[in-house]
Chains A and B, each alone.
Chain A
Amino acid sequence: MSTLFLALVITAAQIILGLSMLCAAYRMLRGPRAQDRVLGLDALYLGAMLLLVTYGVQTGRTLYYEAALAIGLLGFAGTVALSKFLMRGEVIE
């Protein structure tokens, strides 16, 4: 019973997170400005990270944790680089 409930709820949460990623993707695709798209990418990464955490809960495995942690700790590097490129035209000066 509780597993079924949990399974449904987790799936629902995942779908919600997926939808939020879809919103982010929409911003990436539509822009209008580059900063909007980068913002979308950042949000996409966030959604992905949370999705991985829910997947860990769903499977009861801690194996996916590192991937989520990697996004949390390192995912910003990409967006930092993009932002810096927008601001300075150069990533490393």
Chain B
Amino acid sequence: MTGWLAHLIILPILLPLVASAMMLSLDERRRATKRALSLGAAALLIAVAAVLLWFVRESGPQAYRLGDWPSPFAITLVADRLSTMMLLLTSILGFTSLFYASARWDRSGPRFHALFLLLLMGINGAFLTGDIFNLFVFFEVLLAASYGLILHGAGTERTSASLHYITINIAASLLFLTGVALIYSVTGTLNMADLATRVSLTDSEDLALLESGAAILGVAFLVKAGIWPLCFWLPRTYAAASPPVAAVFAIMTKVGIYVILRLSFLLFGKDSGGAAGFANEVLLFAGLATMGFGILGILAARQLTRVAGHYVLVSSGILLAAIGIGGEALTAALLFYLVSSTLAVSALYLIIEPVERNADEEDIIDGIAEPVFDDEYVGAIEEEESEVGIVIPGTIAILGGGFIFCALLLAGLPPLSGFIAKFALIDALFSHVVIAPAHWIMIALIILSGLATMIAMTRAGIDRLWTPGEESPSRLSVIEVTPIGLLLGVCLLLMIAAGPVMDFMQATAAALYDPGGYIEAAGPAVSIPPESASPPIAGYRP
């Protein structure tokens, strides 16, 4: 990448930063300007991410050395297939959620747009950075913004939930720092690509220290990813957040997953021995446990937001277990699943609120209905209700359609991308030479999760949308419908264009397995000879 195009890599970080910094000096009353500014920035982010993705697909990983310092001394941003894919996903979610928020949610507290854009900045930064400490910084940016966004609109539940969320994340951040310190103390570098080369050269004496550092670091990421038993805060926090915020939070667990993917392949790739294997087992079993827990949560949920939250856990579990099992095919499948499930959860969070808007505050009615008629069908006779369908008002029809699509996506049923994702995952699991018991368990859990989702979603959907209520449904604004439609449209596109998308994922997985391109782009250039000291030279460094 040369010329002006080269600076494109940093735009996903700078664009939201500058836009929000500009908004800070704008008065709170100039809402329209702020909306325009933030939506414009979010739309631009999609374009930037798309161009980057296209470019990276054509020409391989690209690095951006901040401050023009040589690698590995500079903080390096790296755009490769994986990171640009995550960027694109983030910017799509960001745009749709912001769009949705402008229906009314951005009015429930001051500075919503600034916080939202800064969240996007943090997420984008975490995806782009090739430096392990800079990753910490961006984690903090995105976490801080997420604290702000959760609290947006205040209220008891939000505050209580965020108290847990913040405390746990601060504790996790301290673990992050500890891990980074350990890794730095052994390797002497922070650049991920450089780490990759240095880790393989580590003395066996120092290996335990390094692995301990990686493990502690891993715990920090696993908290973000929402792994059992470190995930109990997640469903509650997401449920407490306002819908557009929860919708964009769908990407947050994926940041943790992304980092685990990135670092596990860079640091403990195919060459490293026992420790990596052990970590994989931890990931696998914790992932399976997370799936199990998520399934229980989906079944146990009394509110749709909790269903969604536990689905997030299930998807985290699937992704982590799949990382634990490994293999290129499975990695490609998990990437596809990652994209699909993220979009699905996001759409679900957006649609829950209008669906529940009509319903009373009550919980979903429990699974068992009154046994009106028994095994033998005698119902039709006793039912005095007229057999004329009630006219579904447009709102309900649209909501119902959207809701069904979300349910299908989550349960992995056709015609949206969830089906392909599920198929690809199981297919990859079956493609192993030996199908271990853990693989069977995982397959069973994938299926069970789909069923549990279906049970919970039909229960909720029937209850909320099909059960006639006295009130007439409230109005549904176009601003709320459009983003949901956009997200579902993307999922439909993923289904139709499954071939090329899956090809992309496979190439991405292959690149993860052979990170040579990444290391070449972002790692140390050539050994730098010590500079002979001289007075500072004026001007930009040559």
Complex A–B touching at CB under 8 A? no
